[in-house]
Amino acid sequence: MARAAGISGFLRSTSARLSLRFAVLYAVITALVLGLTYHFADRELRQWVADQLAQDAAGFADLYQGEGLDAVQAKLAGFAGFNFEDYRIYLLVDAEGQVLAGNVDAIDLSGDSGYIPVDAIHAQTPRYKDVTGYLLHSVQLGQHRLTLGSSTYYQEELREVLGRGFLAGFVLMLMTGLLAGVIVGHRTERRLTQISAALKAVSDGQLDRRVPTTGGDTNDLARMADDINRTIAQLERMVDSQKQISADIAHDLRTPMQRLRQRLDALQAAPDLPDPIRSAVDEALEIADDLIETFHALLRIAQIEAGARADRFADAALALVLERVEDAYGAVAEENRQLLTVKMTDHEALVRGDQQLLTQMISNLVENALRHCPAQTRIKLSLSRLDGRVLLQVSDNGPGIPEGEREKVLRRFYRLEKSRTTPGNGLGLSMVKAIADLHGATLRFDDNHPGLRVLILFPLAGRKTS
């Protein structure tokens, strides 16, 4: 499955298409070169055969002039004695067309010389199968006419050799092109895979990830990798300085907040404080604690987002966490005249994670429902399996979140218009999102018709074996 995807992925890739095109182009050029070679060689060969025939004819003419017809006939008879794959034909006829000598019976002459097909040759013995035609040359010897012919055997041979060469060359070219394409494509593909893996890691928050570079490589992909690495480094510097700023602010504010709290604490402990001042101090302490709590939550979210605790992950049983949350909040719901129920169809599912953070995440969601829903609301926690993953749901039939607001509620300090009057710092869902992200879980808000349904989909780590 993965292999098939790899191959089809390769065929879809840019480099593979490019190498295929080049292979075809090379093959076309090979064909062209071989075609031209054949054309010129064929012409040369014809010329050479024609020259030879003319020379032979001139020799016979000289013989006729010097020694007469008998000498010509004697020489022709000698020639007819051997027949090298019907390479040569001879025919001597008198003025009436009577055959006097030769190794064929008749030739349908369309002209005095030039090419004729093998069908025009009439003879007792069948022609050699590879011969398709003859080049002829006729000469007049007094009243007689001598026709000399040379078969196209050599042209056939040449065509065959060149054809084989062309085929071999074409196949070789195509194979080489494809092989080169596969190799180059594979390497390109590997580089691109490395690049996208690095980019994915970076987008997942691993800002220290880089695209692996091989020293000395100066091709375009290596340059691109360098550019990407520079960009990530720049991003890392920016995020670091951002974090540094947050840390600096945290550090700078920690001390005054601590002092503020300590002063108010000391003041509250004073024995003879007038009542109005005491209540004012109590209120100020409450505000200071809210401030500290908000600050604390912000720093916690930032740390979770930065991947804190991920190295302490262990197998956590979500069923246990759900039971604990129900145990803590069931009574609170009852006091609010709401109903908190838990329904689990998968008790054994384990996820990789931090049990305390998971407890906080589910608690935050339950508290959200408890605080934003009116009396008589039913709040349901459920745990089930979905496509080999673990699905945790927190749903209620309360007022819900309007569709356009569902993304926004994850932002820090964002609060729905109607919930601005209820206590809270607007960080609860940011925390939920940060914890879900840390666990590689996806978080979604859906309409529960009516109400809100929060779906968290965890990768399954295993099953409890007890």
Partner 1 sequence: MRVLVVEDHVETAEYVTSSLQAQGHLVDHCSNGREGFLSALDNQYDVMIFDRMLPGLDGLTLVKSVRGAGVETPILILSAMDGIDDRVQGLEAGSDDYLVKPFSFQELSARLAALTRRPPLRVEETVLQVADLEMNLIRRTVMRRGVALDLQPREFSLLEYLMRNAGRVLTRTMLLESVWDFHFDPKTNVVETHISRLRNKIDKPFDTDLIHTIRGAGYSLHG
Q: Which residues contribute to the site for partner 1 (CB under 8 A)?
A: 247, 250, 254-255, 257-259, 261-262, 265-266, 268-269, 282, 285, 292-293, 295-296, 299-300, 302-304, 308-309, 312, 324, 327-329, 331-332, 335, 356, 359-360, 363, 367, 370-371, 423-424, 428
* Closer CB to partner 1, 45 or 292, in the complex: 292
The residue (of 3 and 251) whose beta carbon lies closer to partner 1 is 251
Smallest separation (angstroms) from partner 1 to the CB of 441: 18
Label each residue of the chain as H, E or C: CHHHHHHHHHHHCHHHHHHHHHHHHHHHHHHHHHHHHHHHHHHHHHHHHHHHHHHHHHHHHHHHHHHCHHHHHHHHHHHHCCCCCCCEEEEEECCCCCEEEECCCEECCCCCCEEEEHHHEECCCCCCCCCCEEEEEEEEECCEEEEEEEECHHHHHHHHHHHHHHHHHHHHHHHHHHHHHHHHHHHHHHHHHHHHHHHHHHHCCCCCCCCCCCCCCCCHHHHHHHHHHHHHHHHHHHHHHHHHHHHHHHHHHHHHHHHHHHHHHHHHHCCCCCHHHHHHHHHHHHHHHHHHHHHHHHHHHHHHHCCCCHHHCEEEEHHHHHHHHHHHHHHHHHHCCCEEEEEECCCCEEEEECHHHHHHHHHHHHHHHHHHCCCCCEEEEEEEEECCEEEEEEEECCCCCCHHHCCHHHCCCCCCHHHCCCCCCCCHHHHHHHHHHHCCCEEEEEECCCCEEEEEEEECCEECCC
| Cα distance between residue 142 and residue 292, in whole Å | 131
Of 265, 270, 298, give the one whose Cα is nearest residue 284: 265
Taking the complex as a whole, how short is the minimal distance between the CB of residue 410 and partner 1, in angstroms? 17
Q: Give the nearest distance from C-beta 440 to partner 1 in angstroms.
A: 19
Residue (45 or 285) nearer to partner 1, CB = 285
Smallest distance from partner 1 to CB 383, Å: 19
Residue number, 133 or 428, with CB nearest to partner 1? 428
Is 220 or 335 the residue whose CB approaches partner 1 more closely?
A: 335
Kindly state the greatest CA–CA separation across the chain. Answer: 161
Minimum CB–partner distance for residue 256 and partner 1 (Å): 10
Asked if 360 and 316 count as a contact pair (C-beta separation under 8 A), the reply is: no
Give the nearest distance from C-beta 312 to partner 1 in angstroms.
7
CA distance 287 to 295: 12
User: Among residues 147 and 368, whose Cβ is nearest to partner 1?
Assistant: 368
Q: Are strands 349-353 and 389-396 parallel, antiparallel or unpaired?
A: unpaired
Cβ 262 to partner 1 shortest distance, Å: 5
CB closer to partner 1 out of 46 and 324: 324
Q: How far is the CB of 382 from partner 1 (least distance, A)?
A: 21
- Of 62 and 293, which has the nearer Cβ to partner 1? 293
C-alpha span between 190 and 211 (Å, rounded): 11
Report the residue number, 76 or 373, with the smaller CB distance to partner 1: 373
Q: C-beta of 347: minimal distance to partner 1 in Å?
A: 18
Closest to partner 1 by CB, 285 vs 410, is 285
Nearest approach in angstroms of CB 204 to partner 1 is 19
What is the smallest separation between the CB atom of 258 and partner 1, expressed in angstroms?
A: 4
By beta-carbon proximity to partner 1, the closer residue of 216 and 423 is: 423
